[in-house]
Amino acid sequence: MSAATVAPRLHGIRQRRLTVLSALLGALAVAVVLSVTIGSKSVPLADAWHALTSPTGTENDIVIRSLRVPRTVLGVLSGVALGVAGALMQGHTRNPLADPGLLGVTQGAAFAMVSSIILLGVDSLLAYIWFGLAGALVASVAVFALGMVGGRGGPTPVTLALAGTAVSALLAALTSAVVLLDEQAMDVFRFWQAGSISGRSADVVWQVLPFILVGLVLAMINAPGLNALSLGEDVARGLGQNIPMTRTVGVAAVTLLSGAAVAACGSLAFVGLIVPHLVRPLSGTDHRWLLPYSGLVGAALLLFADVIGRVVAPPGELEVGVVLALIGAPFFVALVRRRKPVRL
Amino acid sequence: MTRRPLRVGRLSWRVRPRAVTLCVTGLVLLVLLMALNMRIGEIDMSLADVLAGTFDVNSPAHFVIMELRLPRALTGALVGMALALSGAIIQSIARNPLASPEILGVTTGASVAVVAGVVASGSVNSGVSGLLATLGVPALSLVGGLLGAAIVYGLAWRRGLDGYRLVLVGIGVAAVFTNVKFWLLTVGDVNDTSRAMVWISGSLNARGWEHVVPTALALVVLVPVTLLGARSLDALRFGDDTVTALGVRVNLARALLILAAVLLAAVATAAAGPIAFVALAAPQIALRLARTAQPPLLCSALVGGVLTTGADLIARIAFSPIELPVGIVTAVLGAPYLIHLIWRSRK
């Protein structure tokens, strides 16, 4: 193929990718608008705009500013974080079963939370989240260290995945033991476990924001290296990749992103499991596009699911994790059945 | 010297001395752990009493051993073997060390069914007791498990069964089941939730012959079937095209083996709940100990039995008189060992 024919084709691909990107951004914008306006008390769009630009302290203003906006922002942040983390994790482990919880973040967060309840008598949401974050980070560092010593010359996908599963299983068992012994811990744990973004104040958003931002930057830095790695380690080394470095940056990004999201919203890690599979047919296997697409789809999916959860079972709400599973998973299965899956 | 063929007439098998040693060691260890397990109870016995009670009809311990302790120990061993075998089959077919009966929808389906049953009937029947415990829960579990597997199987089947598609469909279905389970746990009373948690964790408490017999029957029928299919299983790791060229009827072999794995996991889960980690870890531990490319089937089963029985022993004595659900200890025991093996394999 001559250079003259390659250039227009590349241009076409680029065009298509930008189109998809703007479509996904549009979908996310719609989700954000719905999330701000719809709920047990629906607020007209004009009032919502008024509440955001020039609040006067009406009931709608309070609902929007203190409940809906933090909830929506947290949903977007967590959705982006989980989508990107899932795509990174599957890329690094080259395993379609890998979810961002694979490094032990979910179980680490859960165990730290329930332990803080029975050992220290902690009883505020903000404090749980700090403990959850710490637990998530410690667990994934432990997994990474194990994978590191287990593999030859840096963590290999299989040892990383197995070490993560082993540590997760261990922590999950300890968590079950704690919640079986203590009913108060059980009560907090079961609601956290179901996964929810409701009832989180703006403080929670500020709490997780720095972790997610740093994680996103690391993820995008990691994308080209991950592309090289997916050609196989030997090829990547031949292309001049520092493999242990690439892996470390990737794992650090996954840890920050998924740790923050899971600590704040509960076990939603399977968002990260499903989203990359949904996105791969659109993006192909180029991580520079797969990661942002996954982030946008993750956020839109999480918000749509949350909105549906608010209206589907009045007067109560259905946890976003449950709605996500009920809607996202069948969609995912249908997609897997219809297309030949894009293999990792 | 690692592979000596064993020939009888026209038939021949490959024999791996390492795997044989492992199996024999596993069997001895399993029997020993079962005997130790049978010592414990309301009145602790000596090993001699246990032996006498098992084989001597006139021994004073005979009734307690035969009616209470032996069935419990047997349930643990058999359930562990069934789960591990199921895991070994699935990991070979999916060519994925992270695969376990969970992705076939068996354990998750069973969990949803049982939690729904407990939460729905909780305050009325005072939870998992009486008729619901002896008949209802195993039946719910079996129905839920088989239904879950049927859903995964049906959705994954498209002109044949592709290992990769099976895994992906399995993830999706498992996500639905798991989250419905989480939701059900938030709906019920916190007491019911705790009771359901015990079952979800997997427990061998108060298991009798009615739990032993179905599991034993399943193993008696399905182990030979699986071993017959082991050759195809060995071949399946080379990829569908190669295997077809080698003359294996890929889809038939795979479908039968998956069916065997589903039945094993469903029966085991019905007997003792979805005991965590055995199906995933036992094949990986056996594979590393036997140094084979794929999980060795019989060794995996024995490792599973040892892991479960050992875990039950610890679950009963660690916080005595409180008895932990065995599924909590399988992970506490199995995970560090698996980590140790991973760590050792770096050499």
Checking if the pLDDT of A344 tops 80, the result is: no
Average pLDDT across each block of 10 residues of chain B; the chain has 347 residues. List them in order. Answer: 62 73 90 89 80 81 83 92 92 79 85 84 52 68 90 82 77 83 82 79 82 88 84 70 74 83 90 86 88 84 93 85 83 80 65
The Cβ-side half-sphere exposure at A290, using a 13 Å CA radius, reads 26
**Arithmetic mean of pLDDT, A46-57:** 81
Q: Which residues of B touch A159 (CB under 8 A)?
A: 342, 345
Tokens of A159: 């040892």
Give dist(CA B181, CA A213) in Å, integer.
33
The Cβ-side half-sphere exposure at B251, using a 13 Å CA radius, reads 8
Nearest CA in chain A to B169: A333
Please tell me the predicted confidence (pLDDT) of residue A16.
Answer: 85
Checking if the pLDDT of A242 tops 80, the result is: yes
Cα torsion A150, A151, A156, A162 to 10°: value is: -20
Please tell me the predicted confidence (pLDDT) of residue B131.
Answer: 52
Q: Which residues contact B228 (CB under 8 A, 6 or more apart)?
A: none
The Cβ-side half-sphere exposure at A329, using a 13 Å CA radius, reads 23
**Arithmetic mean of pLDDT, A340-344:** 55
Domains of chain B (ranges, CATH numbers) = 4-344 (1.10.3470.10)
- Using one digit for the tens of pLDDT, what is the confidence trace for B100-136? 887 888 888 988 888 888 877 765 444 445 555 556 7
Give dist(CA B24, CA B303) in Å, integer.
11
Give dist(CA A322, CA A306) in Å, integer.
9
Cβ pairs bridging A and B (under 8 Å): 171
CB count within 10 Å of CB A29 equals 11
Degrees, nearest 5: CA angle B5-B10-B14: 20
User: For chain A, what is the mean pLDDT?
Assistant: 83
Q: Choosing among B91, B158, B165, B179, which should be mutated to test the A contact, i.e. which has the most A CBs within 10 A?
A: B179
When CB atoms are compared, the residue of B168, B331, B342 closest to A173 is B331
Give dist(CA B136, CA B151) in Å, integer.
22
Give dist(CA A140, CA A259) in Å, integer.
9
Q: Choosing among A92, A333, A342, which should be mutated to test the B contact, i.e. which has the most B CBs within 10 A?
A: A333
Instruction: Indicate the helix (H) or strand (E) that contains A152.
Output: none
Confidence of residue A1 (pLDDT cuts 50, 70, 90): very low
Tell me: cis bond preceding B321? Omega within 30 of 0 counts: yes
The Cβ-side half-sphere exposure at B262, using a 13 Å CA radius, reads 24
When CB atoms are compared, the residue of A97, A172, A179 closest to B331 is A172
Within the 12-41 window of chain B, which residues sit less than 8 Å (CB to CB) from chain A? none
When CB atoms are compared, the residue of B179, B183, B193 closest to A186 is B193
CA proximity to B138, closest of B222, B213, B86: B213
Q: Do B332 and A98 touch (CB under 8 A)?
A: no
Domains of chain A (ranges, CATH numbers) = 75-338 (1.10.3470.10)
Nearest CA in chain B to A335: B169
Checking if the pLDDT of A341 tops 60, the result is: no
